[in-house]
Amino acid sequence: MLYLVPTPIGNLGDITLRAIEALKGADVIACEDTRHSLRLLNHLEIRKPLVSYHEHNEARRTAELIERLREGATVAVITDAGMPGISDPGHRLLRACMAEGLAYTVLPGASAVLTGLIGSGFPAESFYFGGFLPVKSGQREREITRAAGRSETSVFFESPHRVQRTLEACARLCPERMVCVARELTKQFEEYRLGTGAELAAHYAAHPPKGEIVFLVRAATKEERAAQAGQDGGI
């Protein structure tokens, strides 16, 4: 059996009882970063063989883990934080299990995407998740423009080193739209800061942010979508 096991996104107390049981019962634990995962496993007093499983070795490691599963081993996959399979190699192993007809299960647990969405106070009936915002400025601005036109709240991951440029782009492209920087979720210095792109750009210019960031763009109203369509039509 393959177990995709969610880990805390910050506070170590957010591990579930079922996740602990799965990790204790595993024959091997595949980790995005074994050194990082050891902190959690030592906290839980779990001693199991660990293997690294990340973007640079996922093809080779997937084949090895599939072979272990064929032989009857129980394999648990964890990432540095949150749900495996989102912006990490867990998805590839899951697809391989499907192709091979091997048993798997996904445990529920902490997710920065959902935590940031709910904590922002933005409409959450439906939402769009875009992973990490593009590094290149042109691609990032196109993604922000698309987010500004959506009827759903848009959720992204962003680097603290790039968020200032993202906020400045929002100030130009959707100056009246509310955005949110959800930072260091579940940790001691957790922060949800809401405002326009210009307001948050001014704040973080004076207080450079640190830590993991979930960046959100509030869903557009009907009036805002109509205005955006008019602007696009005039280009």
Residue 232 has pLDDT above 70, yes or no: no
Give dist(CA 68, CA 140) in Å, integer.
41
The confidence score (pLDDT) of residue 191 equals: 97
Indicate the pLDDT class of residue 19, thresholds 50, 70 and 90: very high
CA 83 to mean position of chain CA atoms: 8
Residue whose tokens read 């107390």: 13
The CATH architecture that domain 2-106 belongs to is 3-Layer(aba) Sandwich (3.40)
For the chain, give every domain's residue range. Answer: 2-106, 112-233
Mean pLDDT across the chain: 93
Mean pLDDT of 156-165: 96
Indicate the pLDDT class of residue 225, thresholds 50, 70 and 90: confident
CB atoms within 10 A of CB 171: 19
Residue 55 has pLDDT above 60, yes or no: yes
Give dist(CA 186, CA 190) in Å, integer.
6
Residue 234 has pLDDT above 60, yes or no: no
The confidence score (pLDDT) of residue 228 equals: 67
Residue 230 has pLDDT above 80, yes or no: no
% of the chain surpassing 70 pLDDT: 96
CA 144 to mean position of chain CA atoms: 18
Identify whether the C-beta of residue 2 lies closer than 8 Å to the C-beta of residue 97: yes
* pLDDT single digits (tens) 97-136: 999 999 999 999 999 999 999 999 999 999 999 999 999 9
| CB-side neighbour CA atoms (13 Å) of 143 | 23
- Per DSSP, the three-state class of 24 is helix
- CATH class of the 112-233 domain in this structure: alpha beta
Residue whose tokens read 């902490």: 110
Contacts of 139-148 spanning 24+ positions with Cβ under 8 A? 140/165, 140/166, 140/169, 141/169, 141/173, 144/169, 144/170, 144/173, 144/174, 144/217, 145/173, 145/174, 147/174, 147/217, 148/173, 148/174, 148/177, 148/217, 148/220, 148/224, 148/228
How deeply is 42 buried, as exposed, middle or buried, from its count of CB atoms within 10 A (0-12, 13-18, 19+)? exposed
Residue whose tokens read 């079922």: 18
Q: Which of 109, 172, 171, 163 is nearest to 132 (CA)?
A: 163
Mean pLDDT of 13-25: 97
Residue 231 has pLDDT above 70, yes or no: no
DSSP state letters, 83-132? -TTSSSTHHHHHHHHHHHT--EEE-----HHHHHHHHHTS--SSEEEEEE
| Least-confidence region, from 44-48, 91-95, 177-181 | 91-95
Crossing angle (nearest 10°) for helices 163-173 and 197-206: 150
- Per DSSP, the three-state class of 154 is strand
